[in-house]
Amino acid sequence: MEKLRQIKQICFNYDKVIFLAANDISEELHILNACEVEATAVDYDPKFKDAPNYINKDFVFDDVELDADLIVHMNCEKTYPVKLKGDVILRGDNEAHNGDCSIITSCEQLIKMYNIEEVYSTRETDTHYFVYGRAA
């Protein structure tokens, strides 16, 4: 999970971080919280109903407060774009899984979809795209 390790390293620069559509990152959440970073994940999957550091809601359709110093959207392709403000890390892929809402084909696409006004860094692999920046 090299990609998650790099994202986690950025998270240590913030006081409060929310992960969106992250699936099971319970170990990373535990580490961040143990190091005094208030870290939570929002995921609609019922398997996270009673999981520590998880909010079991759909952040696109449910009323979820996204008030953090950093928002990390781990699977942009799986959800409709949501309005984000402030520092964000966006991660998406072009693997075209069944049920993906938006196949991500470039960092530029993520920048436009999420109205990123200042780009801190980008990275692309064969299938994944990462944008770290500030959303308007």
The residues with which 119 forms a beta bridge, in sequence order, are: 133
Which pLDDT belongs to residue 98? 73
Which pLDDT belongs to residue 3? 64
Q: Per-domain residue ranges for the chain?
A: 2-135
CATH of region 2-135, choose from 3.20.20.100, 3.40.50.150, 3.40.1410.10, 2.120.10.30 = 3.40.50.150
Tokens 């049920």 label which residue? 99
Tokens 């392709």 label which residue? 77
Compute the distance between CA of residue 136 and CA of residue 124 in angstroms, rounded to an integer.
23
Along the 136 residues of the chain, how does pLDDT read in single tens digits?
456 788 999 999 999 999 999 999 999 999 999 999 999 999 999 999 999 999 999 998 899 999 999 999 999 998 888 999 999 999 999 887 777 788 899 999 999 999 999 999 999 998 899 999 999 9
Rounding to the nearest 10 degrees, give the CA dihedral for residues 122, 5, 25, 43.
Answer: -10
Compute the distance between CA of residue 13 and CA of residue 118 in angstroms, rounded to an integer.
18
